[in-house]
């Protein structure tokens, strides 16, 4: 299922849902990608200090990928209501 995200918080929410759906704790996901549980927590909260490589590794471990596309007609505030 394709999901749109335009903010760090929205990306974090998508990762959280995918992790939970996979039956993984934050610590278990962190262990899969060589990161601490606290790093996964920061990623899921959309903290700005999260490195891109952390995001990409987490997405890969969850079987997800990033697809870049031209923005649709929705505004970021409209998408936030979905989360």
Q: What is the pLDDT of residues 33-76, one digit of tens each?
A: 999 999 999 999 999 888 999 999 999 999 999 998 888 766 65
Q: How many CA atoms lie within 13 A of 24 on its CB side?
A: 21
| CATH class held by domain 8-65+73-80 | mainly alpha
Question: If you count them, how many residues does the chain have?
Answer: 83
Asked whether the beta carbons of 58 and 29 are under 8 A apart, the reply is yes
Residue 45: its pLDDT value, please? 96
Nearest to 64 by CA among 34, 7, 25, 21: 21
Nearest to 34 by CA among 18, 17, 51: 51
**Domains of the chain by residue range:** 8-65+73-80
Alpha-helix runs per DSSP H in the chain: 8-21, 26-33, 37-45, 52-61, 76-80
pTM listed for this prediction: 0.80
């Amino acid at each position: 299922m394709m999901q749109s995200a335009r903010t760090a918080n929205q990306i974090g929410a998508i990762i959280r849902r995918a992790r939970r759906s996979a039956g993984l704790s934050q610590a278990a996901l962190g262990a899969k990608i060589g990161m601490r549980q606290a790093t996964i927590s920061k990623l899921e909260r959309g903290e700005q200090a999260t490195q891109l490589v952390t995001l990409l590794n987490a997405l890969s471990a969850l079987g997800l990928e990033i697809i870049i596309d031209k923005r649709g007609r929705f505004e970021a505030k409209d998408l936030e209501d979905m989360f």
